[in-house]
Every structure is written in C-alpha cells, then in structure tokens.
Homo-oligomer: A and B are copies of this chain.
Amino acid sequence: MSVTAAKGFTAAGIAAGIKESGSPDLALVVNQGPRLAAAGVFTANRVKAAPVLWSQQVLRGGQVSAVVLNSGGANACTGPEGFQDTHATAEKAAEALGHSAAEIAVASTGLIGVRLPMGKLLTGIEKAAVELSPHGGEKAAIAIKTTDTVHKTAVAQGEGWTVGGMAKGAGMLAPGLATMLVVLTTDADVDAAGLDDALRAATRTTFDRVDSDGCMSTNDTVLLLASGACGITPQQTEFAEAVRTVCDDLARQLIGDAEGASKDIRIEVVGAATEDDAVEVGRSIARNNLLKCAIHGEDPNWGRVLSAIGTTSAAFDPDKLGVAINGVWVCKNGSVGEDRDLVDMRYREVRITADLAEGSETAVIWANDLTADYVHENSAYSS
C-alpha cells in the first residue's frame, strides 16, 4: 500500500544502476492533486546533505508535486557540486513530469562523502517516470532500502480518507530528528499549515524518540504530501492522530530492523518532573553501550541504567530511583529491589521502566541492543 494507499498519488521504484549490486535504488512519488500541499521535517544535524538543503527550500513554498528518492549514495558532504547534482535531479524530474523544479523534493541515502553517478541517476528518472503507477507504492518502498532487510510501509484509514507512508532506515538511526527517509501521503484535503502541525506533533513522539545507535544522520527527511483527492477535510485532531499512527508504526518497523539488532528495547521513563527530563533520561539510557550489551546478553544489569540516569541533568534523588525490567522492579529506592533472576529476557522486546519519583511526566524511547553483528556490519565496509 505504502505511499499509493491514498488517492491522487502514483509511484515507481526502479534499478538505476546507482548501487553496484543492481538492486532497486531510485523511487519517484508523484502527487496528482488537485491539492499539492506538503510539510517536511528534516535532520537536526548541523551538517546537512545537499538534498536536505534543497528540500527545505522547496518546502518553504508549502507545495510539493513530486519526490525523487535514491539509495546508494547520501550526497552529503559533497560541497557545491553535490548541491548542483541535487538541483539537476529536480530539474530532470520536472522535465520528465512537466512540473516545476521548485516543487520537487529530493532525498538521498547511502555513503556520506561520495558524489552520485549523475548519468545513471538522470537516465533512471526518465525510466521511473514511465513506470509511475497508482500501485507503485511497494516498489518505491523497496527502492529506498539500504541495509534494511525489509521494506517498511504503513497505512491508517479515516472516514473516506487515508494516510499512507513508507520509510527506510537501519543504521545511523537516532533522529533528532533518523538515515531515515520517510514519505507520507494523504488524500485528505488539508492545507500546508495543517499538514505541518500534524507532522511536527507526530514526529516529536515517534521518529524523534527512536534511538537505535545514538548516531544522528545528515540526511533524515520526513515528508507529508496531501493530494486532497478524496475531497474530505478531516478534523485536525483526527487527522493528526492518523499521521501519528502511521509514524509510530513506521518508527517501530525501523527499530525492528536496525542493523545487527537482536532486541528492541522500549524505555519508558515515568515519574519525571518534566517531559524534557523524561526524554533526556530515556535517551541517556538508550545510548548506554554497556547496557545495550547487557540486554544483548539477556542480563538484567540495572546498575547500568542507574549509571546512565546519573549523567543527566534531570530532577531526581539517587535514593528514590526505581527500575523495572520486563515488569520486575529490580531496583527500588536506588538500591537492590526484587530478585533479578525473576526477569525473563528471552523475547525480542525488552521493556525497561525508569521511575524518577519526582512528578508525573513520562516519555517512551525505543532503542536496540548492541551486538557483534552491528560491529561487523559497520566495520566491514563503508556504508
């Protein structure tokens, strides 16, 4: 279903030859209107890839008629020449589709610091334009994979309207915003401001709370495009909830397919004085390599949770902290709690609850364990 679940969109995914493997590497998503409203959220990394700089400029107009996405190269840290490559990509898509380049967003993913093979990319755009179809969402989702083992799509239905989307991302996955590319589409009749509100609210508690490996990408991009093709304008809260549902689903799929991971770790911080405190503590726990190793070894080593909490600026009293792993309160009042042998960690999902005992705010951060496979995948070759 993916990005073509909503009416008014066509998509394609092809092999343009950017990847040496010959796997699909170029996707095109086209909004056929009548509306061309769009919103976007991009990486908070201050080193931004050329396609991010380009698409941020495009989004300022609030209209996107098409998105060109490629895997096989991030086009990040490629200087003015890299930016010209992105510009040429948009121009070629504009020519092939009869659109304006100023309304064409571009997203790239792959190795940083290498120019894209522009001859193959531009020829690929012509080929993809010919293959555009209202059933092309699946192929587009496949073409944006890098080290992803599966393609990721999600859909939420309103009354008469739909929000669908696709995502890629498996490493360098700590969106502040993740190398995470997401395109969401809807046939609801929502203007750019409504899309922006819904998208920012959704990403704040979904993609922004995924922290697979603590590494923030230069290319993270989440786009939401509305065609208005169903002619219905939903209640904003209802629409925002649908967007959040799709983002949450895709975010969980990202964590579930993270490089080398054997566990998905749901870290819930409760009893925080503020939501910011809860997020800071959750992220600190999520990024603790020793804890991530312990979880991999199915070892309920709660001391590593406390050592991570202790590095934050959140409000807490060390003697009141509590930690539960898979529901067993192994740490109470900052000290030894229930028997750690009661903790069953055989399953892929591991739930850690950290109670700061300071207030009633909470946050959930999703992370992965740290495995020898992660090390192997990220040391064996440039990716």
Contacts and interface: CB of A to CB of B under 8 A. Distances in A.
Interface of A: 44-48, 74, 76-79, 81-82, 111-115, 171-172, 176, 213-218, 287-290, 293-297, 299, 301-304, 306-312, 316, 318-319, 321, 330-331, 333-336, 370-372, 374-382
Given A290-B215, A381-B297, A307 B112 contact: yes
A123 B309 CA distance: 35
Nearest to A217: B307
Contacts of A306: 47, 76-77, 112-113, 218
A303 B296 CA distance: 28
Number of copies: 2
B336 A77 contact: yes
A287 B308 CA distance: 14
A311 B78 contact: no
A111 B375 CA distance: 25
A118 to B, nearest CB: 15
A307 B215 contact: yes
Contact of A336 (B113, B290, B295, B331): B113
Contact of A79 (B45, B333, B371): B333
Contact of A82 (B82, B335, B376, B378): B335
Q: Which 4 pairs between the two chains have the least Cβ-Cβ distance?
A: A112-B303, A297-B379, A79-B335, A47-B310
A172 to B, nearest CB: 6
Contacts of A371: 375, 379
A372 B371 CA distance: 7
Contacts of A171: 290
Contacts of A297: 378-381
B45 A310 contact: yes
